[in-house]
Each structure stands twice: as C-alpha cells, then as structure tokens.
Amino acid sequence: MNKGIFITMEGPDGSGKSTQIALLKEYLESEGYDVLITREPGGTTISEAIRGIILNKNYTEMSPVTEMLLYASARAQLIAEVIGPVLDRGGAVISDRFVDSSLVYQGMARGLGVDAVYEVNKQAIGKYMPDVTFMLDLPAEVGISRKKDQKELDRMELESLDFHRKVAEGYRKLAEKFPDRIETIDATLPIERISDLIKDRVRVILNDDAL
C-alpha cells in the first residue's frame, strides 16, 4: 500500500491554485494514487457552513480573533472527517489552502502573530502537517485583478490592496521560515511550466518514500 501523501497549495487570491491542483491530481492518479482534492475553508458539510459565515461580505464587523477561530474550526472538522482518514489509509490529499493561509492571513496580514495562530491551529491539525506545500507567488495587484474578472468578490477579497500586499509578502516570509516544506513557485510562469516544477518535487517525495 502507498504511504499517504499530503500536499497543500497556497498563495494569494487569484494565484492559479485550482488549475495546478487539477493537473497534479492527474499526475498522482497516473502514479496509482487514490487522490482526494479538498479546499479550505470547506470540504465537509459543517466546514462549508462555517465558510458561509467567514466569507459573507455583509459581516464586515467580524473581529480578527473570531475569524481565526472560525478558520481553525472549519479545519478541525475537515481533518477529523476527511483528511485524516484518507491519509491514514494511504491516499493522497491535495488541499487548496491549509494552515499556512491562517498563518499568513490572520497571523501576518491581520497582525495576530504567526506563533499565536499556530498554537490555536495545533489543536485543529494534530499530527497532519503537509509533506510539501507549493506557494504560488504573485504580486497582490495581479491576483486581485484576476479574481475580479472571474466572480463577485467575497469578504476577504474585498479587503484593501494594502492587506493583499501584506498577504503576498507574508507568504514570502513564511517560505523563508520553512524552506524544507514550502516551495515557492513564480505564478507568472506558463501553466505547463509551473505544473512541471510541482511534479518534479512530488516525484522526489514519492521516490524517497519508496526507499
């Protein structure tokens, strides 16, 4: 049986994570993995309900601590119900965002502090940290203008440009802090090139596990 592999995709809003997740799924399936794709906040009935509260653009009065706890709650349920069981039975999980989003958005951009946010999230994630995290790096302006073209913006996307700059900068700092786990990828590269870089890294992890 394969050993479970947990991969997360991170980056500012509009950085192209979904496209890359779909391409990576095809690759992992060709390697014989049963692949589960999930997104945060969401991925279970309860977590999707929490997502509805967090992203509701009318809830402008939400405090940063409330926001952090809601993201952590959605995550705790997703881990308990979906991610944990799939990894335990040797499957592959690709998550569109995970704890690094909280470290950056709530810890850095909202100013709650990375360590404080991590402490709270430890309860939610238990032993399940990603084997590798791809950070699709993109200037904040580019990400937000891509999102505007796609859909109506949610509460987080409606934040100021200054907030989104802090997010993009925060991701770079986080990648420097965890260089072994987080691989930064230039999200302005062509889609196929990005996908090849991601697959190269995943291939190394799969081969290491086989040893």
**Residue with Cβ nearer ligand TYD (55 or 80):** 55
Decide if residue 131 touches ligand TYD (CB under 6 A).
no
Cβ neighbours, 10 Å, residue 102 = 27
Structure tokens at 4: 């479970």
Kindly indicate which of the ranges 21-29, 97-105, 186-194, 195-203 contains the residues binding ligand TYD, using the contact rule CB under 6 A.
97-105
Helix ranges, 31-113 (H): 45-55, 64-78, 84-88, 99-101
Alpha-carbon distance of 5 to 97, in angstroms, equals 15
Interacting residue with ligand TYD among 44, 83, 96, 182 (CB under 6 A): 96
**Residue with Cβ nearer ligand TYD (2 or 19):** 19
Least distance (Å) between residue 190 CB and ligand TYD:
20
* Residue 114 neighbours by CB under 8 Å, 6+ apart: 103, 107, 108, 174, 177
Least distance (Å) between residue 203 CB and ligand TYD:
25
Interacting residue with ligand TYD among 4, 7, 76, 97 (CB under 6 A): 97
Decide if residue 40 touches ligand TYD (CB under 6 A).
yes
Cis, peptide link before residue 64, omega less than 30° from 0 = no
The residues in 43-82 that bind ligand TYD, with binding defined as CB under 6 A, are: 55, 71
Decide if residue 101 touches ligand TYD (CB under 6 A).
yes
Alpha-carbon distance of 70 to 52, in angstroms, equals 11
Inter-residue contact 113 to 107 (CB < 8 Å): yes
Interacting residue with ligand TYD among 65, 82, 116, 156 (CB under 6 A): 156
Decide if residue 157 touches ligand TYD (CB under 6 A).
yes
| Vertex 137: Cα angle to 31 and 120 (nearest 5) | 85
Per CB under 6 A, residues contacting ligand TYD are 13, 17, 39-41, 55, 71, 96-97, 101-102, 105-106, 154, 156-157
